[in-house]
Chains A and B, each alone.
Chain A
Amino acid sequence: MSASPLSTTGPGTFPRGIHPPEAKELSASGKIEVLPTPKEVKIALLQHTGAPCEAIHKPRTEVEAGAMVGSSEAFVSAPVHSPIAGKTAKTCSVTLPNGRHVPAVPIKATGEQLEGDALFEEIFGGEWPTSGLERYSADEIRTATREAGIVGLGGAAFPTHVKFAVNPEKPIDTLLINGCECEPYLNADNRLMIEAPMPMISGTMLAARAIGAEQMVIAIEDNKPEAIAAARKAAEGSPVRIQPVKTKYPMGGEKQLIPAALGRIVPTGGLPLDVGVVVMNVGTATAVARAILRGKPLTHRVVSVSGRGIVSPKNILAPVGATYQELIDLADGLTPDAARVIAGGPMMGFALGELDTPITKGTSGIVVLTEAEVRERNETNCVRCGHCVDVCPLHLVPTRIALASRARNWDLAKRYHMMACMECGCCSYACPAGIPLVQLIRTGKASAPRA
């Protein structure tokens, strides 16, 4: 692929990758439903990549909906807010799906709460201007974004204001909004684009102001025609370009989406800003609009609850801090053959052991697979068929890296560029011998001596 550093459009796809069954139909047409206010929410003090927050209030403090309950002095961090009116309790510990034990502030709901349609209206309704945004300076946007506790809602949960920090040596010319949602089953971003495209457009323009990007592109996989149509309509008359891209996993990965949508290649070990790009998720853009135009923090998000192990798959607008169990209950619970509950999508998400865990800002979905779908495969010898090589979107040789890692042969693993692996899981998905390639590579990346 030829790619000039300043190219503005790409071929709409990237070489290799896989086409797992999309299974979007389970929840694609499910209008976003609002979770009834839980009796209690637990606000994890570390929901993002970066430094953890400290609880601000003493136990038994009355807080309003939207009040900040945790913050940190560190730059790479994001404050957390209460989604409900309530009373705080003593800090407890929760185990997040990634296995980390983090402190959390429990808040018991008290008094009047905004519920149902009124809550949906409050968050997404009303006017979202696409003009006159010049009155917000880049600094104001950055500060408000930080105050609102906005992090990447696509899953990685990287603090957004950090992405907004401009580096004069690496000017940004393009803001790329990621509406791919390439993981099977998930429809949270899809529904958000269909039901509330306006705040996404405003948020995109505001974020572009913060980073000084001239070009604004929203990339959407072509299996979401409704979202593409809604986004196009909302973007009419604005400088935002809607760019459909091919449906393929992992299109939503930055290193795939930037070449596909813009025709630029991010150097290995580098960041999108090395090629003048900042990538943000659609939900994040929406949250930025709400923070700047309405002064409201990030307290709720859309979560897809789907999979064949869920009785009634749905898309749910839920307060951060509600439990997985509560969301699953609203979707009428698990089927008897449910076998695995995943936070996020089935390709990169974490399997949950405990459903009484709070969702966080980065929870894009809850996918429940059935026994038949997760049946364990017997691992057999690598037959060197090269299928893992044929699907690796980064052009690695997964079998070599994985087997070198298993043998703890770090020199060999390095020769095969182990550290470049983005752990997308395509290789494991495709391997006919059932070798847990990405798991072996992940272990290798974690245990190889740094040099």
Chain B
Amino acid sequence: MSQELDTAPASDTDQAKAPRIVVAPSPHLSEGSFTTRRMMLDVLVALSPPVAVSIWVFGWYAVVQLGICVISCLVAEAAFIAWRGRAFTLGDGSAAVTGVILALSLPWSTPWYVGFIASFVAIGIGKVVFGGLGQNLFNPAMVGRAFVMICFPAALGAAAYVLPGSPLSIVTQATPLTALKQGLVESSDVLSLLIGNTNGSLGETSAIACLLGGLYLCLRRTASWEIPAGTILSVAVISGAGYLISGSSFLHPLHHILGGALLFGAFFIATDPVSSPLTVKGKWFFGLGLGAIVMLLRLASGYPEGLMFAVLLMNAVTPLINRFTIPDPVGGPVPQRN
């Protein structure tokens, strides 16, 4: 598109320094600092509080899990690029983001090969088969997570979280949501849900860490605040209404918002731009719908947690949401000309 030509400098004294004038279409400026790569780096920065808490709570287990998943995702991305001969950008950092999110969504006891397989599935089926970053319908990390959840139910079920008599005392308790489901509410008070010294998947235990990283993402405009806001709002309303009506302590809204993967998922997984809607209205739909499905799964399914499947479900309806939330231009639709 651009064509070049040499123009003599006005001074005409120094031909060697003649500026090279290049023609190109407008606009001639771009918000240069804002690139896909920077968005991914933002996500990694935002993930650091949950990563730190996971290492504090689960120690070595967390370090190993993060290492396995991040390295496997990078290797998988490189391998698929080589195989398909396409220049997907390894440099954009998205594979590393997938790796960290995947690791943080697994229990501490996950065997190494499960993390490895999940990573390959995340990158391969979650992303590459769709045509690379930006083309994928589902959040890659959740695709990998769901795959191993189905293939290795034993390694990832509620039992995977708990090891009675372990030297790591955290993992001798049930996860807060399982405890909640079994009616053992007092087993995790709200304070430990906030700080994170409870059992659970690696990255989800601390509400404060998730909020910290999530708010950073929203402030940087890398994540859209409407999605977590919608999710939290709908979980609060549904569990709150249930709590008021039934009085069952199982439905205490604080436990549903702060416990389990809700905040981690709302801020870090649901906000994945590729697999969430484009418009403000669409983002609200997505967030509200996500919260509603999470509550439905938590209350009506056999699983204590429903975030992962809820995200995948909402991913699947995102194209539909996009279609039904096409905004009207300012001034109304384009008039039909005959």
- CB neighbours of A162 from chain B (8 A): none
- CB neighbours of B222 from chain A (8 A): 385
- CB neighbours of B150 from chain A (8 A): none
A144 an interface residue at 8 Å Cβ cutoff? no
Q: How far is it, in angstroms, between the C-alpha of A270 and the C-alpha of B34 when the chains are bound? A: 35
- CB neighbours of A416 from chain B (8 A): 326
Distance (whole angstroms) from the CB of A368 to the closest CB of chain B? 9
- The answer to whether A425 touches B36 (Cβ under 8 A) is no
Question: Which A residue sits closest to B5, measured CB to CB?
Answer: A353
A355 an interface residue at 8 Å Cβ cutoff? yes
Residue from B28, B34, B132, B326 whose CB has the most chain A CB atoms within 10 Å:
B28
- CB neighbours of B280 from chain A (8 A): 389-390
Question: Which A residue sits closest to B23, measured CB to CB?
Answer: A351
A119 an interface residue at 8 Å Cβ cutoff? no
Given contacts A342-B28, A346-B29, A353-B3, contact A383 B274 (CB under 8 A): yes
- The answer to whether B30 touches A428 (Cβ under 8 A) is yes
- The answer to whether B26 touches A348 (Cβ under 8 A) is yes
Distance (whole angstroms) from the CB of B39 to the closest CB of chain A? 6
Q: How far is it, in angstroms, between the C-alpha of A226 and the C-alpha of B318 when the chains are bound? A: 50
Residue from A395, A417, A420, A432 whose CB has the most chain B CB atoms within 10 Å:
A432
Given contacts A336-B19, A417-B334, contact A381 B28 (CB under 8 A): no
Please, what's the 1-or-0 string for A335-357, where 1 marks a CB less than 8 Å from any CB in chain B? 11111111000111111111100
- The answer to whether A353 touches B39 (Cβ under 8 A) is no
Stretch among A34-42, A81-89, A202-210, A324-332 lining the B interface = A324-332
- Give the interface SS of chain B, mostly helix, strand, loop or mixed: loop
Given contacts A415-B326, A450-B337, contact A384 B30 (CB under 8 A): no
A394 an interface residue at 8 Å Cβ cutoff? yes
Interface size on B, residues (CB 8 A): 61
- The answer to whether B21 touches A339 (Cβ under 8 A) is yes
Stretch among B9-17, B45-53, B239-247 lining the A interface = B9-17
Q: How far is it, in angstroms, between the C-alpha of A343 and the C-alpha of B187 when the chains are bound? A: 70
A433 an interface residue at 8 Å Cβ cutoff? yes
Stretch among A122-130, A229-237, A281-289, A369-377 lining the B interface = A369-377
Distance (whole angstroms) from the CB of B19 to the closest CB of chain A? 4
Distance (whole angstroms) from the CB of B288 to the closest CB of chain A? 17
B27 an interface residue at 8 Å Cβ cutoff? yes
B84 an interface residue at 8 Å Cβ cutoff? no
B25 an interface residue at 8 Å Cβ cutoff? yes
Question: Which B residue sits closest to A350, measured CB to CB?
Answer: B26
- The answer to whether B329 touches A394 (Cβ under 8 A) is yes
Question: Which A residue sits closest to B223, measured CB to CB?
Answer: A385
- The answer to whether B28 touches A347 (Cβ under 8 A) is yes
Stretch among A49-57, A217-225, A260-268 lining the B interface = A260-268
- CB neighbours of A196 from chain B (8 A): none
- CB neighbours of B274 from chain A (8 A): 383-384
Distance (whole angstroms) from the CB of A172 to the closest CB of chain B? 18
- The answer to whether B329 touches A396 (Cβ under 8 A) is yes
- CB neighbours of B14 from chain A (8 A): 336
Stretch among A60-68, A186-194, A434-442 lining the B interface = A434-442
- The answer to whether A332 touches B10 (Cβ under 8 A) is yes
A309 an interface residue at 8 Å Cβ cutoff? yes
Q: How far is it, in angstroms, between the C-alpha of A332 and the C-alpha of B336 when the chains are bound? A: 52
- The answer to whether A336 touches B17 (Cβ under 8 A) is yes
A419 an interface residue at 8 Å Cβ cutoff? yes
- The answer to whether A333 touches B10 (Cβ under 8 A) is yes
Distance (whole angstroms) from the CB of A373 to the closest CB of chain B? 7
Please, what's the 1-or-0 string for A366-407, where 1 marks a CB less than 8 Å from any CB in chain B? 010100011111001111111101100111110110000000
- The answer to whether B27 touches A346 (Cβ under 8 A) is yes
- The answer to whether A430 touches B34 (Cβ under 8 A) is yes
Question: Which A residue sits closest to B40, measured CB to CB?
Answer: A383
- The answer to whether A433 touches B19 (Cβ under 8 A) is no
Q: How far is it, in angstroms, between the C-alpha of A442 and the C-alpha of B20 when the chains are bound? A: 27
Distance (whole angstroms) from the CB of B309 to the closest CB of chain A? 22
- A381 contacts which of B7, B24, B38, B133 (Cβ < 8 Å)? B133
- The answer to whether B29 touches A383 (Cβ under 8 A) is no
- CB neighbours of A387 from chain B (8 A): 34, 221
Q: How far is it, in angstroms, between the C-alpha of A335 and the C-alpha of B9 when the chains are bound? A: 8
Given contacts A338-B21, A383-B36, A395-B329, contact A351 B335 (CB under 8 A): no
- The answer to whether B10 touches A383 (Cβ under 8 A) is no
- The answer to whether A340 touches B21 (Cβ under 8 A) is yes
- A267 contacts which of B26, B34, B331 (Cβ < 8 Å)? B331
Question: Which A residue sits closest to B33, measured CB to CB?
Answer: A432
- A341 contacts which of B3, B21, B132 (Cβ < 8 Å)? B21
Residue from B27, B32, B135 whose CB has the most chain A CB atoms within 10 Å:
B27
- The answer to whether A335 touches B19 (Cβ under 8 A) is yes
- CB neighbours of A434 from chain B (8 A): 30, 35
Given contacts A255-B330, A333-B9, contact A429 B134 (CB under 8 A): no
Offer 24 A-B interface pairs, CB within 8 angstroms, sorted by A.
Answer: A184-B29, A266-B331, A268-B334, A309-B19, A334-B7, A336-B9, A346-B26, A346-B27, A353-B21, A376-B2, A377-B32, A381-B132, A389-B278, A394-B329, A396-B329, A414-B334, A415-B326, A417-B326, A418-B334, A425-B26, A429-B29, A432-B38, A436-B25, A450-B337
Mark B residues whose CB is within 8 Å of A: 1-3, 5, 7, 9-11, 14, 17, 19-32, 34-36, 38-39, 89, 92, 131-135, 221-222, 224, 273-280, 283, 322, 326-337
Interface contacts beyond A353-B5, A353-B23: sample of 19 additional A-B pairs, CB < 8 Å, sorted by A: A255-B330, A255-B331, A268-B330, A270-B331, A334-B7, A336-B9, A339-B21, A346-B29, A376-B24, A377-B30, A380-B89, A383-B36, A384-B276, A384-B278, A390-B280, A417-B326, A429-B29, A436-B25, A450-B337
Mark A residues whose CB is within 8 Å of B: 18, 20-21, 184, 255, 259, 265-270, 309, 311, 325, 328-329, 332-342, 346-355, 367, 369, 373-377, 380-387, 389-390, 393-397, 399-400, 414-420, 425, 428-434, 436, 438-439, 442, 450-451
Q: Which 9 A-B pairs have the closest CB atoms?
A: A333-B10, A381-B134, A425-B27, A338-B19, A268-B331, A420-B329, A385-B273, A336-B17, A346-B28
